[in-house]
Structure 1
Amino acid sequence: MISLLGQFSGHLAQATRQADQWSNVCFFVLLLVQLPAAAILLSRLLRGPTRFPPLRPQLAQPAFLGKVSVVVPTLNEAERIAPCLAGLSRQSYEVREVIVVDSHSMDATPDLVKAKQQHDPRFRLMNDDPLPTDWVGRPWALHTGFLASSEQSDWILGVDADTQPQPGLVASLLETAIAHHYDLISLSPQFILSYPGEIWLQPALLMTLVYRFGAAGETSNAPERVMANGQCFFCRRSLLAQVNGYTSAKRSFCDDVTLAREIAAQGAKVGFLDGAKVLKVRMYEGAAETWKEWGRSLDLKDAASPAQVWGDWLLLLLVQGLPLPLTILLSILMSSGQTNLAMQSLLALNLLLLVMRIGLNFAIAPSYDLSQAKASWLFWLSPLADPLAVLRIFLSSIQTPKSWRGRVYKG
């Protein structure tokens, strides 16, 4: 009996040693993989201080008269379009016209536009034709508005109905584009958050973009890594005509990035700039809607190759998704007496990644309007949502949207 117990203890000890060896090997391999990923991330973040400064409101100049046609695509936007219409109406004489392209809304959206038109004749309401089978609704509406816009306008500004343009927005876009020779500018807005769940989750989702493409104002991205935001998409009319409007993005659920990369690939100067001082947006109501609606387009697979999509996701997993759980796991193991150089180095690296992530929360804080937020302190706990954000990008990468803004699309 004693002999059997001794043999069992010996086998158990051997199994434990083998498990420790395998875990050490795994930790060492993970360290070797995480180190270059962290270096890539650090190289991107270190370019932050050299980025283009945030845009500020500007006053219109006489030379700007009638330079811009604004196109607003709408579909059942009655609950949120009023601040957008009001903000556009406050833009000065640089705006020649505001074309609202409505996709046959079933709510009061057309009535709100018509009411605004009575006070501001620059507003024009039109309906787009039935959606072709090979188009997505949003680029189709934008393309329709572009074709209907005045040829006397030098610039086309696409604006989403959930935005809240601040006074001086369009003049600022014009001034920046002319002074710095931009052909296309899109803006990162200031996000208005209200409910606890979205305050906790949304910054983690936003961080997936920062980790992949750098901060807004990044000026050195190659065409295939250009970022854009269709909520405010400002482009030379001649350039849009050259690429046949929104045709190249007709099947894309991230048409803004798809079109911007197409234009950048042709040699145009494209900028994704910080517009928090000139543009606000209230995108979604609560965490569930943010997870469903915004999360399913953040993978950007319609604008990138599969290799880029999955390479970017692997980077996110290593530098955003794993640091928190790895730090917890390694801390527990080391507190129980298990420790070696690989574990110590891995813990140090992941603690560094967590510190960087917390620091970035301070960096992105100006991108949020929490003045009406409930439990605004949850913003500072958003790093805890990072693993969920990386999971959302994975789920989006393996799925094709079947519906969008009430429209159902065939697979």
Structure 2
Amino acid sequence: MTVLALVALALALLPAVLALANLLALRRKPSGAPAPDSLVSILIPARNEAANIGPTLAAALASTGVAIEVIVADDHSTDATAATVAAAAARDSRLRLIAVPPLPAGWTGKNHACHVLGQAASGRHLLFIDADVRLRPGAAAALAAAAVASGAALVSGVPRQVTGTLGERLTVPMINFLLLGYLPIPLMRRLRDPALGAACGQLVLAEAEAYRRVGGHGAIRESLHDGVLLPRVFRRAGLRTDLVAASDLATCRMYTDFRQAWAGFSKNAHEGLATPRALPIWTLLLGGGHVLPPLLVLAALLGAGSLPLAAAALALSLGTRAAITLATREDPWTIPLHPITVALALTLQWNALLRPRRAGVATWKGRTYPAA
């Protein structure tokens, strides 16, 4: 038990150190502003988003600090998405609605819609946002300024994640925890290794010329995980990518219940952690550092093992999660649930890896895609 407690302590220490370094790195805000003649194209792929699109458009059109155009690509919606956008466009000439052509073979829906949007945009910067993302007024200008200041061809960040149900609170916080606890952002900024590339697909700003030169979303046309693969495309071309703190720039409520969250995170698991090579390593890192400590504390209270070592590992794990949660302005009531959240995330990933592989394993927004 003592050896297990030492292992758990070491595995909990790793994300604690990385989170501290990352949070300090993200505290430094870029100075300056976008070029005076800059235009940011805010690009929104939308498929059956009638419930979301109105507030999203209102927030985007309220942008300040930089000239904008807003383009919505209606991806064969069967609800009132197109009508809502058309009505808003009639009131504001900066907004356009375009129709997405039929989905070609070999493409996933979002990547195809984003590709169409990238072709239609005229801005120096292309800001891709999901239809459930609400931009703050200064967000587009801040992201463009960050790109200019860092020399990055792609800049991304995680919007403040809004969670309303227990199912969301047990799943969504893993986004920021994995990013800030396990990606060395200072090293990512120094090196252009594609393996260090990361983004959040909800909020991605790309320099238009670079985006088109590397192939944009067309270079990842079969992917369901643009947040992982798109920055790697840029880095393979020798371009810089960056991450910024975005909890003050936008908000997003990804899902509305546990079923949606499970389906949403499962659809791209095979392009993230759920691979035969990666998942055993992540199980050791996450399970050993965050699920094992409370079990060791319980065992120590029952008379087996070292309570000080087990308690130290648990304190490090929960302290790291607390620091990330507070810095990203997520729900603090999720902090005590952290061991369950990590265990549930690992269960989801193993389920995605081991479940029977059918011809169409991922279904999303009414479309079924072949297994990767």
2:27 matched to which residue of 1?
53
Matched residue type, 1:353? A
Is 1:402 aligned to 2:362, yes or no?
yes
Amino acid at match of 1:72: I
SS at match of 1:131: coil
Task: Name the CA shift for 1:204/1:245 in 2 (closer, same or farther; >3 Å).
Answer: closer
Structure 2 runs not aligned, ≥5 long: none
CA offsets, 1:299-355, max 9 Å, x none?
A: 6439x97534542343112212322233323432x1xxx5xxxx32xx544422321
**What is the Cα deviation at residue 181 of structure 1?**
1.6
Of 218-227 and 94-103, more deviation after overlay is shown by 218-227
* Pairing 1:326–2:281 present: no
Distance in 1 of aligned mates of 2:266 and 2:312: 27
Q: 1:172 to 1:66 in 2, by over 3 A?
A: same
Asked if structure 1 preserves the Cα contact closer than 8 Å seen for 2:9 and 2:312, the reply is no
Q: Could you tell me how far apart the structure 1 residues matched to 2:184 and 2:318 are?
A: 16
The aligned runs of 1:295-374 (5 Å cut-off) are 295-297=266-268, 300-301=271-272, 306-332=276-302, 334=303, 338=304, 343-344=305-306, 347-363=307-323, 364-368=325-329
**1:101-147 CA deviation, whole Å, 9 max, x = no partner?**
11110001001111110121111111212112211111111011111
> Residues 205 and 147 from structure 1, CA distance in 2 versus in 1: closer, same or farther, beyond 3 angstroms?
closer
The alpha carbon displacement at 1:155 in A equals 1.3
Structure 1 segments, 4+ long, off by >6 Å, are 58-61, 215-218
Residues 392 and 379 (structure 1), Cα distance of their counterparts in 2 relative to 1, 3 Å cut: same
Partner of 1:392: 348
1:283 matched residue in structure 2: 254
CA distance in 2, matches of 1:358, 1:213: 18
Is the contact between residue 6 and residue 309 of structure 2 (CA under 8 Å) also seen in structure 1?
no
How much has 1:265 moved relative to structure 2?
A: 2.7
One-letter amino acid of the structure 2 residue matched with residue 134 of structure 1 = G
Does residue 131 of the first structure (1) align with residue 103 of the second (2)?
yes
Name the counterpart of 1:237.
Answer: 208
Q: Amino acid of the residue matched to residue 292 of structure 1?
A: A
Deviation, structure 1 residue 199? 2.9
Q: Determine if the alignment matches structure 1 residue 172 to structure 2 residue 142.
A: yes
1:384 and 1:38 map into 2 onto residues whose CA distance is: 12
- Matched residues, number: 364
Aligned to 1:121: 93
Partner of 2:73: 101
Cα distance, 1:35–1:367 mapped onto 2, change above 3 Å: closer
**1:188 counterpart SS class:** coil
Residue number among 211, 222, 225 corresponding to 1:251 in the alignment:
222
Report the TM-score, using the length of structure 2 for normalisation. Answer: 0.86
Residues 325 and 299 of structure 1, relative CA distance in 2, 3 Å threshold:
farther
Amino acid at match of 2:268: S
CA distance in 1, matches of 2:329, 2:17: 25
SS at match of 1:124: strand
Superposition pairs of residues 194-209 of structure 1, within 5 angstroms: 194-204=164-174, 206-209=176-179
Shift of residue 268, structure 1, vs aligned partner: 1.4
Rg bigger for which structure? 1
Please name the residue that 1:191 is paired with. 161
Q: 2:336 maps to which residue?
A: 381
Distance change >3 Å, CA 354–CA 288, structure 1 → 2: farther
Contact preservation (8 Å) 1:54, 1:277: no
> How much does 1:100 deviate?
0.9
Residue 260 (structure 1) shift = 0.5
How high is the TM-score relative to the length of structure 1? 0.79
Identity value in percent: 26
